[in-house]
Amino acid sequence: MRPRASLRGRHAAHYSFGWSRIAHPDPVSSAEDPSETVLPLTLHLGTEDLTRCRFAVSPLCQTHEALRMLRRPDRHAFHRDWLRRVRDVAAGLDLAELWLFIPRKGGYTPDFLGPPPRTPNASFEEELAQMRATDPAMARTELARSLACTPGAATSPYGRAALEDPAATVRRLADLTERAWHALLAPDWPRHQALLESDIAYRSRQLADGGLEALFSDLHPEIGWADDTLTLRMYADLKEAQGPDGRGVLLMPSVFVRPDVVSGFARPWQPTVIYPARGTGGPPTGAAPAEAPAALARLLGPHRAAVLVGLDGPASTTTLANRHGLALSSVSSHLSVLREAGLLVSHRQGQYVLYERTALGDALAAGAR
């Protein structure tokens, strides 16, 4: 799954735990492990790369990031509510073999556990099928590299089994991932997906309005962009880093990576940057959004007012229906009325029609608060 760091880089060969690690070092600091250093990684994007930058939502990636949080709950103060909520369910899952390849303190996690999604909004089932189809020879190489990061892992029962029969190991890891998905993430996925799609809509507008500099400068404090060069400050084994070389860059928002960023640049995978989605002080908890102020609710009706007030960034009808727990037909009707009143505008973004407030809508929503 790409080493993490602060940028998780697939490219890094080390799953360092984040930009936050720079300010809050782990007990095993970089001084104790000279292979992990904080260095700026610069990646020049050529013309082909610039035309192949894309966004995607990955439920498989979200699953493995959630599991990583369960491995190191002490590093994830942003997500304490979610961790408390799933603690009992997680305790009933036997994930020991999967966790062997998601090291607690740095180390490489096999890339095939989270390959870049092929489409912007792949389903978990589609991504899991891609994982199951991993070539056994490549899987063995990545499994061996991951095991080498943890003393004694390669000679453990799971480690020996992985090296002796990588194809069977891929199947077992996929089964464990599927179990974790259904137990931990699937119940909340509509809300997670809505949040991630809203982030992509916001970033797409940033890109359209201000170009790549506006986009990258706002993704994370340790990401920079200038002169067609992407700069990432991270703990990394830079020997593994490879430039995009025409492959472009895949950008994926995540509910679970905050305060970190994750990256991967090793072939044959498309270079990937996974960043914290907007509004993720923690993942969605299933709670309904706050009600609109009483005065605005009396003016517009409670549900229509809630849709207006809650539309802080571009969002689709499906996103809003999931967010507010309303039927698609009801949300569609509310959006039509609000748009006709000049409070919203709509525009198409790929396969989605996205809605956002106008200046008049902003003024009405702000004035009612």
Q: Which CATH number covers residue 302?
A: 1.10.10.10
Is the Cβ–Cβ distance between 308 and 320 less than 8 Å? no
Task: Tell me the C-alpha distance between 157 and 151, whole Å.
Answer: 14
- Do 218 and 357 sit in the same domain of this protein? no
Torsion angle defined by CA atoms of residues 214, 218, 221 and 224, in that order, rounded to the nearest 10 degrees:
-20
Whether 287 is covered by a domain: the verdict is no
Domain count, the chain: 2
- Do 182 and 322 sit in the same domain of this protein? no
- Do 212 and 298 sit in the same domain of this protein? no
The model's pLDDT over 203-259, given as tens digits with 9 standing for 90+, comes to 888 888 888 888 888 888 878 888 888 887 764 444 445 556 677 889 999 998 877
- Do 225 and 163 sit in the same domain of this protein? yes
Q: Is the pLDDT of residue 1 over 50?
A: no
Whether 14 is covered by a domain: the verdict is yes
The model's pLDDT over 13-39, given as tens digits with 9 standing for 90+, comes to 222 222 222 222 332 333 334 344 456
pLDDT number for residue 19: 23
Task: Tell me the C-alpha distance between 235 and 38, whole Å.
Answer: 5
Whether 191 is covered by a domain: the verdict is yes
Task: Tell me the C-alpha distance between 4 and 19, whole Å.
Answer: 10
pLDDT number for residue 18: 25
- Do 264 and 319 sit in the same domain of this protein? no
The model's pLDDT over 54-104, given as tens digits with 9 standing for 90+, comes to 999 999 999 999 998 888 777 666 677 788 888 889 989 999 999 899 877
- Do 268 and 313 sit in the same domain of this protein? no
pLDDT number for residue 190: 85
Task: Tell me the C-alpha distance between 339 and 96, whole Å.
Answer: 52
- Radius of gyration over alpha carbons of the chain, in Å? 21
- Do 320 and 237 sit in the same domain of this protein? no
- Do 344 and 250 sit in the same domain of this protein? no
Whether 289 is covered by a domain: the verdict is no
- Do 272 and 303 sit in the same domain of this protein? no
- Do 269 and 300 sit in the same domain of this protein? no
Task: Tell me the C-alpha distance between 152 and 146, whole Å.
Answer: 12
Q: Among residues 276, 309, 326, which one ends one of the domains?
A: 276
- Do 252 and 308 sit in the same domain of this protein? no
Strand partners, 42: 231
Whether 285 is covered by a domain: the verdict is no
Whether 70 is covered by a domain: the verdict is yes
Q: Which two tokens stand for residue 185?
A: 């993430």
Q: Among residues 276, 308, 338, which one ends one of the domains?
A: 276
pLDDT number for residue 164: 97
Q: Which two tokens stand for residue 146?
A: 């991951």
In terms of residue numbers, what domain contains 225?
3-276
Whether 286 is covered by a domain: the verdict is no
- Do 206 and 337 sit in the same domain of this protein? no
The model's pLDDT over 129-158, given as tens digits with 9 standing for 90+, comes to 999 999 999 999 999 999 998 899 999 999
Whether 284 is covered by a domain: the verdict is no
